[in-house]
Chains A and B, each alone.
Chain A
Amino acid sequence: MVSSAFREVGLIEASMQEQAEVALRDRERELSLLVDMVPSHVWRLGPDGEPIFFNKRMVEFLGLDVADTVKPGVSRLEAVIEAVVHLDDAAEFAGALNRCLVTGEGLVMRYRLRRADGVYRWMSSRAEPMRNCDGEIVQWYGLCLDIEDEIRTQEALRGARDKLARATQAANLGELSASIAHEVNQPLAAIVATCHACCRWLSAEPPNLERAKSTLERIIRDANSVSEVVGRIRTLFSRMDKPRSPVDMTEVIVGVCRLMADELAVKHIEVETEFDRSLPQVLIDPAQMEQVFVNLIRNAIDAVETIVDCKRLIRLRAVLDGDNNIRVEVRDVGPGLKEPERIFEPFFTTKENGMGMGLAICRSIIESHNGRLWAISNEPTGTILAFTLPIQARDAA
């Protein structure tokens, strides 16, 4: 009786264990199916960092499995990193991972992985340790997400924005100077041609004084129209005298820096600022002053952009200059200028595709605010563009 009862219990236990094992296997299969279905790379490392497992997707991406990474003389981890991580990212990745293995902190990093076809793609990778009940790390679980498309989109966006900004500036200045050139050139060409005609009439045998006189009258008329054009350009710039309000100059500078932050970041240019805390407000037209800063900073960018061997740095300074003025400086560490004063001449440019109008406009804006804008050489290298503005800005006479 007793023994049969024992046997029964034993049978029940055995069948329960069998059931549990089946359930466990099912669950394992489910999990591994799940791991393979995740649209990311899943990997597992031993506590010492040796790769143990890559999921199916990762194996397909890399074109190799854990077993394929054995290389004599180096650890399996080193072999994997060497085989699949981009050369520029490998050292950083190995360092970060080793740090994690030592400290037990999670890993968060972006790097490029080599796809089976040899193309590198940006990945966003995370790894977390799994600990046993004693707190010891038994395994590392990693998840690796392909972010190549996202990175590409961001780059394209940044490129487009940069291009747009440049195009806008070029279009504005380009249009302006082209229209000025056209307006001046047209009557000038007429004057030159008419002068030639006048010479011909005078050197005819006998001289045709009647015609010479009428051509001279036209020359005078056309020359006057050139001076009218010049006058109109003057008014165009002075017309920019808009109502002025007391403005904090540092706010304008910070605003412009924010506007140009992307451009500065893309070109790895650092901007340092030094502002007098007690800087009084000045009466200015903020929009015009922004235009001045965009021009000055863009000049500085162009100057430092070519630097490769040391830091690309632009220093912005706004300080009190005596009791009645504030002084603002934009310093760059670029190659500097040969003729600092010439850069303010209209149509003077040191740039291949510059119009040479930017600084001329800046100067006319500053002068219309009763200020002064000039350029000096920065020591040991580069240029300082500085301007002063009166604190009590009186209206231009």
Chain B
Amino acid sequence: MIPENFIVFIVDDDPRMREALSELLESLGWRAVALGSAGEYLSYPRPDLPACLILDVELPDINGLDFQKQISHGSHPPIVFLTGHGDISSSVRAIKDGAVDFLTKPFTERDLVEAIQSAVERDRAVRQERAEIETLRERLASLTPREREVLPLVVSGLLNKQAAAELGIREVTLQIHRSKIMQKMQAASLADLVRIAERLQIPITHSRRAGSI
């Protein structure tokens, strides 16, 4: 069972639907915020919690599917679509664009609950990943300019000697930089550091062979 610290956004232009969905989610002990349009949703200050967005396809200000495209680049929660008349092509399009589910009104409680749960779980995973990357970025930011030069060489697999030659410094100095980097990035091993570099998308600029002297 997922812990209850998440929030469900409901965006539907029909006040009866908003009311009914809020009531249902509340009876399940979940937190819900019901909004009447895409614009209202965008201007609502979203708390920093895992979330799910229940989106009516037929919105007054924009088509739900177009709205999905529009917000796909921001950090918005996964979407569960609701529609009055489910046609196959829109549902395929919605799912392809990353929606969790596409429910046709009237829908059963079970379908809705399952969709919300998997959406929230997905958001939780995304948020965790995002948080981890953020931490790694902060660590990366704590490196000195020189250390930031050394890092790609080390993760590219160059020997200390080769990396030192590349930068025109002594091997001993390079070793000092290297251990500082390991410390600051909180990497347990070189393999760990390579993984971190990969997650931070630090490009491998040299291969050992190309850089061989």
Where the two chains meet, the residues of A that have a C-beta atom closer than 8 Å to any C-beta of B are 178, 181-182, 185-194, 196-198, 200-201, 204, 211, 215, 218, 222, 225
In the complex the two chains form, is A185's CB within 8 Å of B109's CB? no
Q: List 19 A-B contacts (CB under 8 A).
A: A181-B85, A182-B84, A185-B84, A185-B85, A186-B84, A186-B105, A188-B105, A189-B20, A190-B19, A193-B23, A193-B109, A193-B112, A194-B19, A196-B108, A218-B16, A218-B19, A218-B20, A222-B16, A222-B20
Complex Cα–Cα for A216 and B16 (A): 13
Complex Cα–Cα for A215 and B106 (A): 17
Complex Cα–Cα for A185 and B108 (A): 14
B165 CB to closest chain A CB (Å) equals: 69
Proximity bits, B75-108, A CB within 8 Å = 1, else 0: 0000000101100000000000000000001111
- On chain B, the residues within 8 Å of A188 by CB distance are 105-106
- On chain A, the residues within 8 Å of B1 by CB distance are none
- On chain B, the residues within 8 Å of A186 by CB distance are 14, 16-17, 84, 105
- On chain B, the residues within 8 Å of A185 by CB distance are 84-85, 105-106
- On chain B, the residues within 8 Å of A225 by CB distance are 16
In the complex the two chains form, is A200's CB within 8 Å of B28's CB? yes
Are A178 and B85 CB-contacts (below 8 A) given A189-B17, A189-B107, A190-B17? yes
Proximity bits, B15-28, A CB within 8 Å = 1, else 0: 01101110110111
Complex Cα–Cα for A187 and B17 (A): 7
In the complex the two chains form, is A193's CB within 8 Å of B85's CB? no
Are A191 and B28 CB-contacts (below 8 A) given A178-B85, A186-B14, A186-B84? no
- On chain A, the residues within 8 Å of B24 by CB distance are 193-194, 196-197, 200
Find the A residue at minimum CB distance from B18.
A190
- On chain A, the residues within 8 Å of B23 by CB distance are 193-194, 197, 211, 215, 218
Complex Cα–Cα for A201 and B25 (A): 11
One of A178, A191, A198, A218 near B106 (C-beta < 8 A): A191
Complex Cα–Cα for A192 and B109 (A): 8
Complex Cα–Cα for A215 and B21 (A): 11
A278 CB to closest chain B CB (Å) equals: 50
B57 CB to closest chain A CB (Å) equals: 11
Are A182 and B16 CB-contacts (below 8 A) given A193-B21, A197-B24, A200-B27? no
In the complex the two chains form, is A192's CB within 8 Å of B27's CB? no
A202 CB to closest chain B CB (Å) equals: 9
* Shortest 5 CB-CB contacts between residues of A and residues of B: A189-B105, A200-B27, A189-B106, A196-B109, A193-B20
- On chain B, the residues within 8 Å of A191 by CB distance are 20, 106
Find the B residue at minimum CB distance from A204.
B27
B56 CB to closest chain A CB (Å) equals: 10
In the complex the two chains form, is A197's CB within 8 Å of B105's CB? no
A209 CB to closest chain B CB (Å) equals: 13
Complex Cα–Cα for A378 and B42 (A): 62
- On chain A, the residues within 8 Å of B85 by CB distance are 178, 181-182, 185
Complex Cα–Cα for A329 and B108 (A): 46
Complex Cα–Cα for A218 and B106 (A): 16
In the complex the two chains form, is A197's CB within 8 Å of B20's CB? yes
- On chain B, the residues within 8 Å of A190 by CB distance are 14, 16-17, 19-20
Complex Cα–Cα for A215 and B19 (A): 10
- On chain A, the residues within 8 Å of B84 by CB distance are 181-182, 185-186, 189
Complex Cα–Cα for A218 and B22 (A): 13
Complex Cα–Cα for A197 and B24 (A): 4
Complex Cα–Cα for A187 and B12 (A): 13
Find the A residue at minimum CB distance from B113.
A196
B121 CB to closest chain A CB (Å) equals: 21
Find the B residue at minimum CB distance from A193.
B20
In the complex the two chains form, is B17's CB within 8 Å of A197's CB? no
- On chain B, the residues within 8 Å of A215 by CB distance are 23
- On chain A, the residues within 8 Å of B14 by CB distance are 186, 190
One of B20, B58, B108 near A194 (C-beta < 8 A): B20
14 more contacts with CB within 8 A, not counting A194-B20, A197-B23, are A178-B85, A181-B85, A189-B106, A190-B17, A190-B19, A190-B20, A193-B21, A193-B23, A193-B106, A194-B19, A196-B108, A201-B27, A222-B16, A225-B16
B108 CB to closest chain A CB (Å) equals: 8
- On chain A, the residues within 8 Å of B26 by CB distance are 197
B154 CB to closest chain A CB (Å) equals: 57
Complex Cα–Cα for A222 and B16 (A): 8
Find the A residue at minimum CB distance from B15.
A190
One of A181, A197, A222 near B27 (C-beta < 8 A): A197
A188 CB to closest chain B CB (Å) equals: 5
B184 CB to closest chain A CB (Å) equals: 51
B31 CB to closest chain A CB (Å) equals: 15
Complex Cα–Cα for A190 and B17 (A): 5
Find the B residue at minimum CB distance from A215.
B23
- On chain B, the residues within 8 Å of A187 by CB distance are 16
- On chain A, the residues within 8 Å of B82 by CB distance are 189
